A and B are shown apart, each in its own frame.
Chain A
Amino acid sequence: MTDATHEGAKRHRSLLTVDAQTKKRNAAEARFKVYGMVAILAGLTFLVVLAVSIIRSGLPAFSANMVQVELTLSQEQYAEAEGQLFKTRAYADIFNAAFTAELRERGLTTEFDPESIERIIGQPGATIRSFYRANEDQLGQPVTFNLPTASRIDGYFKGRLLRENVTDSRFLTLADLDLADELKEAGIIQSQFNWTFITGKDSSVDNPGGAGLGASVIGSFAMMLVVLFLSLPIGVAASIYLEEFAPKNRITDLIEVNISNLAAVPSIVFGILGLAVFIQFAHLPQSAPLVGGLVLTLMTLPTIIISTRASLKSVPPSIRDAALGVGASKMQAVFHHVLPLAMPGILTGTIIGLAQALGETAPLLLIGMVGFVAREYPDGLVSAFMDPNSAMPAQIYTWAARSDDAFYEKAWGGIIILLVFLLAMNLLAILLRRRFERRW
């Protein structure tokens, strides 16, 4: 510019030629755009890798290779089995005998070792026993059982276990695999959708086929209810008071700083706090979803307070003035005008807080909500909150830590279910936002 004033020739610079400084600026801008795109691409790549690996590893958990067997148990057999010391063993023997007989009848070509059946079908005894105990009237009649195959055979059909890696052992022989292949061809072993995985309870370490996430989904749900009904009213009330009513002084400043700090406290700290306060001091039951909910409420409160205050702050002050100007009290101004306008933000913050709480594992482990606790469904509303249970992430953690590969697969499957819940909650947040959003 200074040149232009000194040299007349430069005053009439053509706009068609780009000068050096502009070139440099444009180059810098172009570079920045490239960096941005690279960053986004990198992010997307990680996301895709994550999604693909979760789905690839987790999907097999949703199907199971099941054996359908028709069995008739007589009254005498039932009485005899119930009279023995190892009852499930007795049932397994009855089952194995019946199944072997059926296979012979069908005229399967391969000769097989009777023990192979046991290795293929795992442990049918417990299932059969609990069925007949609940339905004694079915004794003497043919009943079709749908039994999971042993985890190694299931893994063999799903490609988790390769034939080349199998050496004959007391757990599995190559002959077993031949027999399993034949059963599959004959349609006796079928791959089915694994409802047990979605609705079931946790099983013992040697029965991965019977393990399911159902009980811990109920545990998670109970905890979320506790979190929602405690943290939403407390959080919103605290934020409204701090934002609209509290005088601005050192004490409120201190509170504000501490709430922000609380949001950054590691969740395991809340876990040990919950253990000390709720269980050891207040003597609430261990492993109970109520306690889990209380701990997660502590964790969620800062998130809700921060987002609620932000959305209250974003309501234009002119709305408050307008309400006060027509003689509304401060509370009327807040509840009639400010709060409805802040609602979308509050709801979004709450749901994000809940989603965080849903995925939290560490504090639950400290208060005893570990996966293997989820052995029984709660029987009733009170029991859902007070009886020992686990939660989805803790159950996943427990499964991932077990040595059997089949549980590892379940852990991935559990993550898919957890993600589905999280996506559903985020979708809900978006829908609520749309629903309540208004202009001003």
Chain B
Amino acid sequence: MQLSVTESELAGLETSRFWRRSRNQIKEKKDWNAALWALLFLGPNLILFLIFTAYPVGYGLYISLYNYSILKPKEWVGLENYDTFIHDPKTPDLIWRSIYYAVGTTIPVVVLPLIVAVLLSNAGVATRPLRMIYILPIVTSPVAAAAVWKWLYAKDFGLINYGLSLVGVSPVDWLYSLRWSMPAVILMSIWLLIPFNIILYTAGLQEVPGDLYDAAAVDGASSFQQFRSVTVPMITPTIFFVFLITMINVLVGAFDVINVLTQGGPLQSTNVLIYDIYKNAFENFRMGYASAQAYALFLAVLIITLINWVLQKRWVHYS
């Protein structure tokens, strides 16, 4: 191995060092330019995000440490609001109802759209008109839709009871019943959330290579076997994504439906955590306590999401 270095080689080395330094300087310069441009384009959105999302989130945490009713000066209480929430005898019922609503809504909203999307993708000429129909709930205001559902659920003149009366079932006061009010709220939430997930599944299904189905067909697989052994494994990333956003949506987005249909009643039977936060903040003006509840909900959503993130490695296939 040659260990000595000639002068010309040394000169070459110096030249190469010079160019490397220059290239790095140019690269750094380019990075600065790129960063500047990125900041310029992201700036407006970043400013809005900081003002309307980051700041309220931080301020919520700050408020949760105070007794605050807007109309009177804030009073520092430390973690008392969290302690009150944890030890409030109403909290277990509140959590139970939130879980009931979340599970009752999430499972159908994850499963049913997949079936509908698969059926729609094989509906031939009817696919387009059907897609237009299922997108209707998305373009309908949840409040307007809930008002219509309220009429559907009406005891004396609602369409649902009219339909049931034709088969001899006595009228049910769907929204004023301890047994049926929550299922009624869940049913409307399912109707409202299904269409968006159908769109996501439809996009996911289009990514499945057609030759896999051809191969399965050659091997004699039935349609159901193709669905179970080809479709489902291939779209597990989509299923995971749909599950996560649906769960978050259900836990934090139930307000509209509940507010219009039942306002959390009767006898708190449809009062879930997100609606209780609203009531405490804007009806009882316990801003600090409501903020503590909001952070408890955030923590719960974060933990559930992290658990799912860890578990997804066992069943989600990305390639």
Are A and B genuine complex partners? no
Contact residues of A with B, CB < 8 Å?
Answer: none
